[in-house]
Amino acid sequence: MDIMERPSPVESSNIAVSERDVSLPGSLVVPRHATGVVVFAHDSGSSRLNPRDRAVARALNECGLATLLFDLLTPEENGIDHLTGGLRFDIELLSQRLVGAIDWLGVRRETGRLPVGIFGSSIGAAAALRAAAARPERVAAVICRGGRPDLAGDDALGHVEAPTLLIVGGEDAPVIAANQAAGANLHCVRRLDLVPGATHHFEEPGKLEQVAKLASEWFLRHMEKFDFSC
């Protein structure tokens, strides 16, 4: 069965991530005996319902990892963004929301003692790296899929401690260059993996499955080694 067609596991309903004075709807899935939790930072103009992120999340759940998909913007902000297109590129705001989600997971009974991974796509990749730099004591690993990690800024990139995997489609030349530039400014453990024959959204048959496999292996390896105590 194709990764996009697999039945979704039962999700916790009515999850709301509280971040400062806003409430952001989301879906939290925590498998029994979860060994870590992965927060998704979706691409620009998308939401927690992004089918690519949900497909990767299901694959991570099957490996025993919890996942949190949540909207980075409120419904009101989405309305503004629909007219202006500006908030989806506000990396400072998006990274602030991710940090809030990490802190929110830290006080929940089922996720409070789990190491955190961040899976960022497109603009969400830059926000993911900024959040990782802000919470090094909680973030065990980062993955950027088809992202623009270079937009995180050199200062933030230089402060990322979590092992970082950059996954780019082999046919996505401009994004390959952006990831190579970002990788040169990362001082943590990092790796750039090109998926042969894949374009920006990994829509070609079998390519998203390759992303999910790479993500599962990276998160499991680095979460297992992460020294997390609170």
DSSP secondary structure, 94-121, as one string: HHHHHHHHHHHHHTSTTTTTS-EEEEEE
Q: Which helix (H) or strand (E) holds 222?
A: helix 207-225
What is the per-residue pLDDT across 145-180, written as a single tens digit (0 to 9) for each?
A: 998 999 999 999 999 999 999 999 999 999 999 999
Confidence of residue 7 (pLDDT cuts 50, 70, 90): very low
What is the per-residue pLDDT across 36-72, written as a single tens digit (0 to 9) for each?
A: 999 999 866 666 778 889 999 999 999 999 999 998 8
Amino acid in position 210: Q
Look over the chain and give the mean of its residue pLDDT values, rounded to a whole number. Answer: 88
CB 100 within 8 A of CB 131: no
Within 10 angstroms of residue 173's Cβ, the number of other Cβ atoms is 10
CA dihedral 64, 208, 185, 224 (to 10 degrees): 10
Instruction: List b or e across 196-207, with b for residues whose CB sees 16 or more CB atoms inside 10 angstroms.
Output: eebeebbeeeeb
- All domains of the chain, ordered by start, with CATH? 19-225 (3.40.50.1820)
CB 72 within 8 A of CB 100: no
Within 10 angstroms of residue 107's Cβ, the number of other Cβ atoms is 9
Within 10 angstroms of residue 163's Cβ, the number of other Cβ atoms is 24
Q: Output DSSP code: residue 82.
A: H
Tokens of 135: 């919470």
CA distances from 135 to 39, 116, 216 (A): 13, 10, 21
Amino acid in position 84: T
CB 55 within 8 A of CB 67: no
